[in-house]
A and B are shown apart, each in its own frame.
Chain A
């Protein structure tokens, strides 16, 4: 019997050999080596990683979804990545975050838990999902990318909860529980800060954090003007 054809060997990667093929393989080291190479090749193909879409993919998709009426405009603007491309803006965001976190966040929320979520203020029937805001050390690009993705997803979850709270209370303009609203913003900030620690120069993370901080500042300013006995 001559050597097994390459297609026969390719079949043997995932199927059992015939008795004749088995006998040949036992005797022919060249075919065994070739089969082994095909097995390694198939294993490597099966281990290929997922692929990140190109930059701007979501923005383009969002525009299409909106144009087809499949999504409605968000109540809280999420800044597009392209808005936030210069280095000094990112550095400014980091400073703002630091100042905002220490000056505005400390001791201001008597009814808010350490995790930034106000359990007491949770509307009945609404499931709040804890948003973790812990940054794990990373040592390579792949881990850092994963961490950034997870942090962004955590942010999106927090934002979704914010919207649900707003919806449960009749929308942002009718929000009757300032503690709940503030707690939701704090949850977003907590997730965002975790993202910033993982990716201090990521324009998207910086952008959403500054938006959330602006939201918080506006909220605090409004609260201080409309209430004489606010705690902050």
Chain B
């Protein structure tokens, strides 16, 4: 499988950082705690974000993220530089979180409705909208949430998602469309999806 940065990747390393990455990795392979810390500082938010969203809850996220880092540091000597380190690390984080989630019994509490009356003032729209979206994603059924995150947030293709989840790309697509529709319902609960005559009457206001 080709290892490329996901299209949705937004990481923009500061200028000059690429010069030191291989140096850091080499030091980290030798067990240098400072080098590992530097890699952690650089990539922890990205790793934590994808793991947190896959986990769907804070309580699990930190454990999953730490497990991802342990795996990555353990596997660091096998990193040959064929892909960018960030891409390699991100895939380890995704696989680690998915595997941990399979082990955990988290198939409850997914359908709880969103709290009502979440205000979205224009001046703080981005922050509150982000919070609203995160909370809605947490309430998606696990399969839908995973596909939505991997495709719409992280930018993986359906083929790549199929490999992550062990499903066909068609299944991934189907889950994605259901997830988007479910998100629409969660974000705008007063409308009734699929009910003829009501579609579009209340557009999602952002």
Residues of A within 8 A of B (CB): 2-11, 13, 28-38, 40-42, 44-46, 48-54, 57-58, 60-62, 64-66, 68-74, 78, 127, 129, 149-150, 152-153, 156-157, 159-160, 163-164
Contacts and interface: CB of A to CB of B under 8 A. Distances in A.
Contacts of A45: 133, 137, 148, 152-153, 183
Contacts of B152: 42, 45-46
B47 to A, nearest CB: 8
Interface in B6-35: 8, 10, 14, 16, 19-20, 23-24, 27, 31-35
A42 B180 contact: yes
A65 B188 CA distance: 44
Given A42-B152, A61-B40, A52 B45 contact: yes
A164 to B, nearest CB: 8
Interface stretch (B63-71, B94-102, B104-112): B63-71
A37 B23 contact: no
The 3 closest A-B pairs by CB, nearest first: A30-B200, A34-B200, A10-B180
Nearest to A164: B27
Interface of B: 8, 10, 14, 16, 19-20, 23-24, 27, 31-38, 40-42, 44-46, 48-49, 52, 58, 62, 65-66, 69-70, 73-74, 129-130, 133-134, 137, 148, 152-153, 155, 173, 176-181, 183-185, 187-188, 193-194, 196-197, 199-201, 203-204, 206
B58 to A, nearest CB: 8
A179 B186 CA distance: 63
Given A71-B36, A163-B32, A41 B153 contact: no
A50 B203 contact: no
Given A7-B194, A58-B41, 16 more contacts: A10-B180, A30-B199, A32-B200, A38-B184, A40-B204, A46-B155, A50-B45, A51-B49, A51-B52, A54-B62, A57-B65, A60-B62, A71-B32, A72-B32, A74-B33, A78-B34
